Amino acid sequence: MLAFILTRLAQAVAVMLTVAFIAFMLFQYVGDPVTNLLGQDATVEQRDALRKDLGLDQPFIVQFGAFVGNALQGEFGMSLRQGQKVSTLILERLPATLELSIAAAVIALLVGIPLGVYAALRRGKPMAQALMGLSLLGVSLPTFLIGIFLILIFAVMLKWLPSFGRGDTVALFGGSGRWTTGLLTADGWQHLVLPAITLSVYQLALIMRLVRAEMLEVLRTDFIKFARARGLSNQAVYFGHALKNTLVPVMTITGLQLGGLIAFAIITETVFQWPGMGFLFIQAVQFADIPVMAAYLCLISLIFVVINLVVDLLYFAVDPRLRIERAGGH
């Protein structure tokens, strides 16, 4: 177990160093930070002084080492567009993105798993076939089109829900204002519904199809036949044995998809003008705000690496076959 953890940690460090190098390349070859900060009218002396203050006159390795050291402390410099510390901007936007992503993940799990089980147990029935058709549609449709469609129906035509923004929020942890949530206000919940559903559709359809496929595969195994031979009821076979084994691979995919939800919430946040990290990243790309782009890249990669590490450890813990293989040296 210890060797497994150390191996995964070493891989995580290697991935993060690679991502940090790519982010560092943004500073080196995308735009000129000195020109961005001082403008075109700065004198040569001013440019040289700022370049020295920023450490840009140092060798490449020294600059990269300083970049990694600052990144470990959460420091990525100042935003060229807003003139604020990048870490401050990220902390202000992170709660909105996490709130949206977790809400979408909860919807996908609570709806996708039961529908996948139903589609497997009622295979060939009209309702099950209809669900599989809808899941194919959910996987195929682009996220922005789903969002626009929901806005048209529920915000424009029916006027039931708001179409943009986060609504009223409440500051947490002493009211500092950096970590806010809309889950404690009715208006916040109303603003969350449409973007959360939009972001969850693809994941919901994917989970439903995965659960159905895994459930059908498990139901064909020998231990299910033995369970039936013992006289167990269908309910005990389906939910006491088959479903437990079905959820092991689903757990892996779901964990990785959570990272995907956070990373690819960009489109949903743009459509609904949701003030999260994705919307901030889009604004940074439009302005070539390199510090914000680099910070976003590193943070999203860190989230992916951490989630992947946790999922690997959980999979190792719940699947005895992995422990047996490791113990046997295979």
Burial 219-242 (b: 16+ CB within 10 A, else e): beeeebeebeeeeeeeeebbeebb
| Residue 174 located in a structural domain | yes
Domain residues for the domain of 56 are 2-72
Task: Please determine, for residue 323, whether its predicted confidence score (pLDDT) is greater than 60.
Answer: no
Same domain, 65 and 99: no
Cα(74)–Cα(68) distance, rounded to whole angstroms? 10
Residue in the structure block whose two tokens are 């977790």: 102
Average pLDDT value for the chain: 82
Query: 254 and 222 in one domain?
Result: yes
For residues 54 and 36, the answer to whether their CB atoms sit within 8 Å is no
Which 3 state secondary structure label does DSSP give 318? helix
Residue 14 within any structural domain of the chain: yes
Least trusted range by pLDDT, from 32-41, 82-91, 175-184, 268-277? 32-41
State whether 32 and 164 are in the same domain: no
User: pLDDT tens digits for 75-89?
Assistant: 887 777 777 888 888
Average pLDDT (177-182) is 77
Residue 211 lies in a domain: yes
Amino acid identity at 209 = R
| 242 or 325: which leads in pLDDT | 242
One domain for residues 58 and 126: no
- Mean pLDDT confidence for 10-28: 84
Question: Is 84 inside any structural domain?
Answer: no
Whether 44 and 118 map to the same domain: the answer is no
Instruction: Kindly state the tokens that stand for 275.
Output: 């003030």
263 and 304 belong to one structural domain: yes
What is the band of 103 on the pLDDT scale with cuts at 50, 70, 90? very high
6 shares its domain with 106: no
CATH number at residue 279: 1.10.3720.10
100: confidence class by pLDDT, cuts 50, 70, 90: very high
Q: Lowest mean pLDDT of 38-42, 150-154, 180-184, name the range.
A: 38-42
**Within 13 A of 281's CA, how many CA atoms are on the CB side?**
22
Q: pLDDT tens-digit profile of 195-233?
A: 999 999 999 999 999 889 888 888 887 777 777 777 777
pTM of the model: 0.81
Average pLDDT of 25-52? Answer: 75
Instruction: Provide the pLDDT confidence category of residue 2 given band limits of 50, 70 and 90.
Output: confident
> Which residue did the predictor score with more confidence, 205 or 257?
205
Determine whether 158 is exposed, middle or buried from the number of CB atoms within 10 Å of its CB (0-12, 13-18, 19+).
exposed
DSSP string of 54-104, one letter each residue: TTTTS-HHHHHHHHHHHHHTT---B-TTT-SBHHHHHHHHHHHHHHHHHHH
Same domain? 68 vs 152: no
Is the model's pLDDT at 147 over the cut of 90?
yes
- Gap between the Cα atoms of 241 and 323, Å rounded: 21
Work out how many domains the chain is built from and give that number: 2
Give residue 265's pLDDT band: very low, low, confident or very high (50, 70, 90). confident
Q: Is the pLDDT of residue 36 over 70?
A: no
- Band (pLDDT 50/70/90 cuts) for residue 192 is very high
Q: Identify the weakest region by mean pLDDT among 56-60, 61-65, 178-182.
A: 56-60
For the segment 190-196, the average pLDDT, to the nearest whole number, is 94
Q: Could you tell me if residue 165 is inside a domain?
A: yes
Mean pLDDT of 238-255: 76
Q: Are 195 and 147 in contact (CB under 8 A)?
A: yes
pLDDT (mean) for 168-190? 80
Q: Which of 37-51, 105-119, 313-327 has the highest mean predicted lDDT (pLDDT)?
A: 105-119
Specify whether 56 is located in the same domain as 110.
no
